[in-house]
Structure 1
Amino acid sequence: MASSANLPASIALVAGEPSGDLLAARLLSGLRPHLPDARFHGIGGEHMMAQGFESHYAMDKLTVRGLLAVIPRYREIKGIQNELRDRLLAERPAAFIGADYPGFNLGLEEQLKAAGIPTIHYIGPQIWAWRGGRIKKIIRAVSHMLVVFPFEEEIYRQAGVPVSYVGHPLAELVPMVPDELGARTALGLPHDANVVAIMPGSRMSELKYNTAAFVGAAKLLKQRDRSLKFVAPMAGERQRAYFLELVAQAGLQDVEIQLLDGQSHTAIAAADAVLVASGTASLEVALFKKPMVIAYRMMALEWQILRHFGYQPWIGLPNILAREFLVPELLQDAANPQALCDAMWKQLSDVPHRLQLAQRFTDMHHSLLRNSAVESAAAVLRVINR
């Protein structure tokens, strides 16, 4: 056992948004037993701080959504990056770990690695989906990459980037056999109800563009089956208020939807099918083995930019992992209330399809299941020779 004198004095980390905060917190929980006296610091959120992390800046100073939203905040965010870089170059931590947030972290990692500080990036940027040219920067910036999907390991290895597959943390949080009846009891829903979860997104921009179409689809579904119950988890009070405002603007106040404070996993577990915005939430739905329709709308200009960048026919993580359209994807103008209703109706009513999906999603769950805290911590310890 190494003496405390030989243990690294500090490890720096940066998470720029809530998902990275959760990711880094899990990594810290795996590292702390091996490095009990080390100082973990940088930029992070409440979950990292619960692990004894010291954040030099409020994480929400970095949280910006969308390609265009970053422009007015660029100077402030760049200033934070430069200040943190100078602090770390002076201190020289044993390693720097960037938790996702590649726009900020890769630039910082490139400068730290050039100065001889080992850099670890947790969650490989999706170069397999778009902007594959970033691999050149990743090679310059990253000493070791931690990836959460099995197929990513070979991509980075072929590019010459040292890499470890550590499993997806969500696969550990979601039970292999979800408790649907328990979830319905918790939400006060009848056990024999037909339940649809509506998940237009947690970001304000996602709510802005998705809410009217998602709730419009719910109204049409209710016309087909009066017994349907709808639940919609809200990420916070701001999101709830904005959701209700958008529903009112669209004249859809008559659609009965049970709004939940958080409880997204309970909502998914309770549902027969889910209408979900593209993103990590679609993977959560797959892990709960639920039929779904993936949909997404955004600012027209942003859509015109992004639609030409993709390398694959899929945007939803369940479809990307399956390498086929297991579930429907409806994007931008195609994500209109009638089309969403029709697609959701098939997910609700096609029993053989539902059973097939459940088996495919179970296989997917097993492929993603590792002890990510232990695996990611072990990779970091190898990098710092512990």
Structure 2
Amino acid sequence: MKVLISTLEPSGNLHLESLLSEFGDEVEIGGIFDEKFGKPIVSSREFGVMGIFAILPKIKLAKQSLEKMVEIAVDFDKVLLIDSPAFNLRLAKKLKEKYPEKEIIYYILPKVWAWKSGRKKFIDKYVDYPIAIFPFEKNIFEKTLYFGNPLLEQISYFREEPVENGIVSFLAGSRKSEIKNLMPTFRELAKEFSCEKRLVVPPHLDLEIYGDISDFKIYRNSEEALKNSEFAYICSGTATLESAIMGVPFALVFKTSSLEYSIGRKFVKLKYVGLANIIFDKLGICGEFHSEHLQNLKIKELIHEFKNSNPKKFISNSKILRKLLNGNPSKEIREIIFGKS
């Protein structure tokens, strides 16, 4: 079985790793993904940017990659798209128009509940198997399948009791622009703590982009850093959901350029930014799961979050979250790939 893969995000490659483990040697892959999985036509690391202005230089690369993906698709049995809607929706459309009989599986769907609701029609029209990762997405798309969230397959540590050791972890994101915006605040914040301060650096990134990291102990794996941390400060994204599932209290922090922030606030219609908060809000579960600090970051307020966290309540909410997200999506997707669903 030959499967054409398209995943441009670090988080998408994390989920691809779980899928490939489930597929075993029965699947041969090609397309766009991290180089550690084989030989892509272009490495997903080439697309590792965030923000309107950071994306502009990548437009030419995206167009060339899109054309190449459509060209080589003729040699593949099925198509698996993971996240990255700006690229993958265009790819789905072009593939279905050229190869109408070729099945397209879309895993980690566009967040049309947050913005760009018009993307729903592309999923309904061009995707054969839309696979959601949040329970409230089940009724959004016409053919949605929900098998649980992939993070439950990847996380091995689940906190049952509060930890009080003073260790604090800092996760500045997986994109260079996120890191550049947050590290000045993280460096200043770290000076307020006397115990161990852990900085999580994703495996695909070089330490040089972080600047001065002399106050931090470096970790390359987020779960390893978080599992015996008392508290964490985490950039918005998948890592916030990971920490919420694990039961490790944290504060979400986010900062970008003033213009990009203004544009985002205009078009993104959500009460919360953090995924755990969004899940609880969408499902009508009362209360904020974790705090959120956006754009105007104040050190005193961030220190207050650490000193006044409620780890017992956090762990209780974490257990609720795990039940909502429990499942085995990789196994179910394997069944779809091999036509057994």
**What is the TM-score when the length of structure 2 is the normalising length?**
0.89
SS of corresponding position for 1:281:
helix
Q: Of 66, 81, 87, which aligns to 1:81?
A: 66
Q: Of 105, 110, 121, which aligns to 2:93?
A: 110
- Paired letter, 2:55: V
Give CA-to-partner distance per residue, 1:18-71, whole Å, 9 cap, x none. Answer: 3222322322333347xx3x543222224533xxxx523333333333222221
Matches within 5 A, 1:184-223: 193-220=165-192, 222=193
- 1:126 and 2:111 matched: yes
Q: For 1:209 and 1:123, how far apart are their aligned partners in 2?
A: 26
Partner of 2:8: 16
Structure-2 change in CA distance of 1:259 and 1:240 (3 Å): farther
Q: For 1:172 and 1:367, how far apart are their aligned partners in 2?
A: 14
- 1:94 and 2:83 matched: no
Matches within 5 A, 1:232-247: 232-235=199-202, 239-245=206-212
- Paired letter, 1:22: L
SS of corresponding position for 1:43:
strand
Structure 2 contact 173–234 (Cα < 8 Å) conserved: yes
Structure-2 change in CA distance of 1:22 and 1:242 (3 Å): closer
SS of corresponding position for 2:41:
strand
Partner of 1:29: 21
Structure 1 contact 314–325 (Cα < 8 Å) conserved: no
Matches within 5 A, 1:144-223: 144-156=129-141, 160=142, 162-175=143-156, 177-178=158-159, 193-220=165-192, 222=193
Give CA-to-partner distance per residue, 1:326-363, whole Å, 9 cap, x none. Answer: 21101001x2222212223211xxxxx32111011012
Q: For 2:167 and 2:219, how far apart are their aligned partners in 1?
A: 18
Structure 2 contact 32–43 (Cα < 8 Å) conserved: yes
Query: Which structure would you say has the larger Rg?
Result: 1
SS of corresponding position for 1:325:
coil
Alignment: residue pair count: 334
Give CA-to-partner distance per residue, 1:128-179, whole Å, 9 cap, x none. Answer: 12222211222233121111111111222xxx2x221122221122235349
Unaligned runs of 5+ in 2: 282-286
SS of corresponding position for 2:117:
coil
Structure 2 contact 49–176 (Cα < 8 Å) conserved: no
Structure 2 contact 34–44 (Cα < 8 Å) conserved: yes
Deviation at residue 82 of structure 1 after TM alignment = 0.8
Structure-2 change in CA distance of 1:266 and 1:82 (3 Å): same
Query: What's the RMSD between the two structures over aligned residues?
Result: 2.5
- Paired letter, 1:174: I
- Paired letter, 2:45: D
Unaligned runs of 5+ in 1: 1-7, 182-190, 248-252, 348-352
Partner of 2:337: 380
Structure 1 contact 179–269 (Cα < 8 Å) conserved: no
SS of corresponding position for 1:103:
helix
SS of corresponding position for 1:70:
helix
Deviation at residue 294 of structure 1 after TM alignment = 0.6
Matches within 5 A, 1:30-49: 30-32=22-24, 36=26, 39-49=28-38
Structure 2 contact 200–221 (Cα < 8 Å) conserved: yes
Partner of 1:188: none
Matches within 5 A, 1:234-313: 234-235=201-202, 239-245=206-212, 257-313=215-271
Q: Of 328, 331, 347, which aligns to 2:294?
A: 331
Q: For 1:369 and 1:66, how far apart are their aligned partners in 2?
A: 32
**What is the TM-score when the length of structure 1 is the normalising length?**
0.79
Structure-2 change in CA distance of 1:66 and 1:198 (3 Å): same
SS of corresponding position for 1:322:
helix
Partner of 1:316: 274
Partner of 1:5: none
Q: For 1:100 and 1:270, how far apart are their aligned partners in 2?
A: 30
Structure-2 change in CA distance of 1:63 and 1:210 (3 Å): closer
Partner of 1:250: none
Partner of 1:186: none
Q: For 2:239 and 2:87, how far apart are their aligned partners in 1?
A: 23
Structure-2 change in CA distance of 1:355 and 1:192 (3 Å): closer
Q: For 1:295 and 1:195, how far apart are their aligned partners in 2?
A: 18
Partner of 1:68: 53
Deviation at residue 104 of structure 1 after TM alignment = 1.2
Partner of 2:313: 356
